[in-house]
């Protein structure tokens, strides 16, 4: 299929391009930017006037719920939600109901993703068998099966010696560890940020130091082992500053933040809104501002969705008992675009959603350079729209921004040159 995308504003952080120009696609690849290639006769044309054309988004944290929890979501349903949000490459971390600690599970996910044919699905393998935090997984086999890294998800590795050996093993395999930093003893039983709001509501708090203590420990182990570590879903200002200092000292680390952490705070859990029950919890306004500052300074290089679809019953329980997480794929882009109001350039925002995550994952994505895969997102940055349960593609409707007006809407998503989403 030969496609001509005409008149759009091309923003590609991988090439430093921000200009109005045409894009020519052929055979699933980017054929040319700007001038029409000799003899090029398009089979379809897309008018992108007034819209942004950028690489398909790369989301590092998407729980697909399959296998194990298909009543919450399937690889097919959540891949469809991904492309509705402009995401063409996504990573699924291991979960206790779908522990990717064997090549069979990795192969199952890969085959179902190929059948869905909506988005590129990459698997992060389990760091320990059964996510038990005790026995290191067969990383070599997982790497050979196509895993782009290893993680223990939200499940702790309490024994520091096990974590040290896991880092040493991962380094010999040249694999990146994706780690959620939370001290299990300090956070035990908590469901909200420890502060005035949780105290007033009678909820057990998770102190900010639960994250900061774990980050400090992991940084020491990184320095000892030389392992490459990516910190997932940071939530506190102090953790960002510790990572900044470690990056300055040359440690091989990177970090991401979930888009909702950049706009919500613990104030939003007032009235026991279980849609705002997330892990890590929504922190203070000062922490929220610190995360934004970390993005502007490049300490945090990635914005992810931390997509966690749930069925209705999972969120109908009292706040402390409701399952944490937000169905966030379809609000990822507009929430990220809001950062332009706090001083981030569009180029930097797009880079945090495309080029940088692709580079950390080591995948061929996040660029529209000639010869690259033609994964494209076309969106209107000025269009206001209201996120509604009825319009959400994801099987999970648990999003605190439902009913709110968002700015910036995806109109087309192309995967390897084929249109996989078109706003009707």
Q: Which residues are catalytic?
A: 306
Q: Which two tokens stand for residue 12?
A: 């590609």
Q: Which two tokens stand for residue 310?
A: 């749930």
321 near 313, Cβ under 8 Å? no
DSSP 207-264: -HHHHHHHHHHHHHHHHHH---EEE-S---HHHHHHHHHHHHTT--EEEEEEGGGGT-
Unique residue bearing structure tokens 């890294």: 149
Residues, the chain, total? 424
21 near 34, Cβ under 8 Å? yes
Rg of the chain on CA atoms, in Å: 21
214 near 181, Cβ under 8 Å? yes
Pair type for strands 253-258 and 302-304: parallel
Q: Which two tokens stand for residue 57?
A: 């988004």
CB atoms under 10 Å from CB of 282, counted, come to 23
What are residue 126's DSSP bridge partners?
A: 151
113 near 73, Cβ under 8 Å? no
Backbone φ and ψ of 397, nearest 5° = -105, 10
Pair type for strands 23-26 and 9-12: unpaired
What are residue 254's DSSP bridge partners?
A: 230
């Amino acid at each position: 299929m030969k496609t001509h995308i005409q008149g759009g504003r091309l923003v590609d952080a991988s090439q430093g391009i921000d200009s109005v120009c045409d894009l020519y696609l052929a055979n699933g690849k980017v054929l040319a930017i700007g001038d029409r290639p000799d003899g090029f006769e398009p089979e379809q044309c897309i008018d992108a006037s007034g819209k942004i054309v950028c690489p398909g988004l790369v989301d590092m944290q998407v729980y697909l719920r399959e296998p194990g929890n298909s009543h919450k979501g399937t690889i097919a349903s959540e891949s469809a939600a991904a492309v509705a949000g402009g995401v063409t490459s996504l990573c699924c971390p291991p979960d206790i109901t779908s522990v990717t600690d064997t090549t069979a599970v990795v192969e199952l996910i890969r085959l179902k993703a190929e059948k869905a044919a909506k988005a590129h699905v990459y698997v992060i393998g389990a760091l320990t068998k059964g996510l038990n935090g005790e026995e290191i997984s067969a990383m070599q086999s997982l790497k050979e099966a196509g895993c782009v890294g290893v993680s223990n998800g939200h499940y702790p590795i309490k024994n520091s010696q096990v974590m040290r050996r896991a880092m040493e093993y991962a380094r010999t395999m040249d694999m990146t560890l994706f780690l959620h930093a939370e001290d299990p003893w300090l956070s035990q039983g908590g469901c909200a940020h420890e502060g005035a709001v949780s105290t007033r509501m009678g909820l057990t708090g998770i102190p900010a130091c639960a994250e900061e203590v774990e980050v400090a420990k992991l940084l020491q182990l990184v320095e000892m082992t030389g392992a490459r570590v990516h910190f997932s879903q940071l939530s506190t200002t102090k953790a960002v500053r510790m990572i900044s200092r470690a990056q300055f000292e040359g440690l091989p680390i990177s970090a991401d933040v979930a888009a909702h952490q950049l706009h919500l705070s613990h104030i939003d859990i007032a009235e026991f809104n279980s849609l705002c029950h997330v892990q890590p919890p929504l922190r203070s306004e000062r922490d929220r501002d610190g995360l934004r500052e970390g993005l502007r300074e490049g300490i945090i290089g990635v914005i992810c969705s931390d997509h966690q679809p749930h069925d209705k019953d999972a969120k109908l329980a009292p706040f402390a008992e409701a399952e944490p997480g937000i169905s966030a794929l379809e609000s990822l882009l507009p929430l990220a675009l809001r950062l332009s109001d706090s001083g981030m350039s569009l180029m930097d925002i797009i880079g945090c959603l495309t080029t940088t995550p692709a580079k950390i994952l080591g995948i061929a994505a996040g660029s529209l350079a000639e010869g690259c895969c033609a994964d494209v997102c076309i969106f209107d940055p000025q269009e206001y729209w209201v996120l509604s349960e009825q319009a959400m593609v994801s099987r999970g409707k648990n999003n605190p921004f439902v009913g709110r007006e968002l700015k910036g809407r995806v109109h087309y998503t192309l995967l390897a040159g084929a249109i996989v989403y078109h706003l009707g």
